[in-house]
Amino acid sequence: MFPCRNSYRCPKTRAMELICEYEKLKRNVYAGAVGYIDFSGNLDVCIAIRTLFAKDNLIHWQAGAGFVADSQPKLEAKEIKNKSAVLRNALEHAEVIDENSGN
**Residue 100: inside a domain, yes or no?**
no
pLDDT tens figures, 22-38: 888 788 888 888 999 99
Q: How many CB atoms lie within 10 A of CB 92?
A: 7
pLDDT tens figures, 60-87: 888 887 777 788 889 988 998 998 998 8
Contact (CB, 8 A) for 79 and 56:
no
Closest among 38, 34, 65, 59 to 47, alpha carbons compared: 34
H-helix or E-strand spanning residue 50: strand 50-55
**Residue 98: inside a domain, yes or no?**
no
**Residue 99: inside a domain, yes or no?**
no
Domain that holds residue 26: 5-93
pLDDT tens figures, 80-89: 899 899 889 9
Number of structural domains in the chain: 1
Handedness of CA 14, 33, 22, 68 (dihedral sign): positive
Contact (CB, 8 A) for 11 and 22:
no
